[in-house]
Structure 1
Amino acid sequence: MTQKLLFVCLGNICRSPAAEGLVRDLCPEVETDSCGTGAWHVGEPPYGPMQAAAAARGTDLSDLRARQFTRGDFDRFDLILVMDHDNRANVEALRPSGNTTEVKLFAEYAGQAGVSEVPDPYYTRDFDGCLDLLEEAAAGLKRAL
């Protein structure tokens, strides 16, 4: 049975599509998707500077399109990986009663002491730093699968 992973950030144009693309490349045996807790960018491709930074590392995000997290995602995915504590709270607020789908902070897979969140490069402008952390987390996730 193929494991289904969902990556979640705020707008689904930087962190979560980059995480999806990296894990899709690293773990082609798993099914991946990404979304945001907000609806501002639904239908849009990942943010241009993030696409460029990912492409420079060999990861193509151009086929991805933003969508918003829904309650139904709890039933469609085996593991939901969020980029920060606010994303986690927003996701958990939609959890259906009785649902047991695990929600984890993706950055914790990077194994960096004291790091539990992926900073949002839309605001920090540090796309390469974000990708460094996402790559470490993706490698840690692969070891954990």
Structure 2
Amino acid sequence: MKHTAILFVCMGNICRSPLAEGILRKLCDEPGLKGQYTIDSAGTGGWHAGDPPDPRSIAIARQHETDISRQRARQVNQTDFQTFDLILAMDRTNLANLLQTSAPEHRHKIHLFMEYATGCWQDVPDPYYGAENGFLRVYTMLLTGCRSLLEKTELDRASWSGKASSTM
């Protein structure tokens, strides 16, 4: 089976993208999926580089038995465009920033997360300036999206290995 590398990207890499990384890591912690994915997150901005995720992101993840407290924010770099198979932006602003900074030969890897995962052209809202319930809303969106993403990538991986039917 093909190994798949996925990068989640938001603005500062302290709210949405670390949650998405944690959720997908937990979903991939199943027999048959371990070691099949490289999962990471980054921000288009670097002002939080080295910082842990927002305490509210850590808390909502912990409520769902996911530990993201050891993650550290980092900024997207040019190597990421070569390393990752999928680069998934949490919103249209970050999508535009990624497309603007990537080389043309890597743009096919860059997508809006919810559109790629679920088919809905929808931003994952930034909960940073809102109330705590915004983090629960974002968690729920990310969980739904990550489940769909995993189903989609597993289907793609099966077809790459020749296990999928030609009628799928």
Quickly name the TM-score band, shorter chain normalised: over 0.9
Which consecutive residues of structure 1, in runs of 5 or more, have no partner in the other structure? Answer: none
Which consecutive residues of structure 2, in runs of 5 or more, have no partner in the other structure? Answer: 30-35, 154-168
TM-score using structure 2 length: 0.80
Instruction: For residues 72-95 of structure 1, give each alpha carbon's deviation from its aligned partner in whole angstroms, at most 9, with x where no partner exists.
Output: 211010000110000011111111
Q: Does the 8 A contact of 1:74 with 1:101 survive in 2?
A: no
**4+ residue runs over 6 A deviation:** none
What is residue 120 of structure 1 aligned with on the other side?
Answer: 126
1:54 aligns with 2:61: yes
Name which one, 1 or 2, has greater alpha-carbon Rg: 2
Distance 2:107 2:126 in 1: 28
Q: Does the 8 A contact of 1:18 with 1:61 survive in 2?
A: yes
Distance 1:60 1:102 in 2: 28
1:4 aligns with 2:5: yes
Equivalent runs, 1:45-124 vs 2, <5 Å:
45-108=52-115, 109-110=117-118, 116-124=122-130
What is residue 37 of structure 2 aligned with on the other side?
Answer: 30
Q: Secondary structure at the match of 1:133?
A: helix
Range moving further from structure 2, 93-102 or 29-38: 93-102
What is residue 50 of structure 2 aligned with on the other side?
Answer: 43
What is residue 137 of structure 2 aligned with on the other side?
Answer: 129
Count residues in correspondence. Answer: 143
AA aligned opposite 1:61: I
1:141 aligns with 2:149: yes
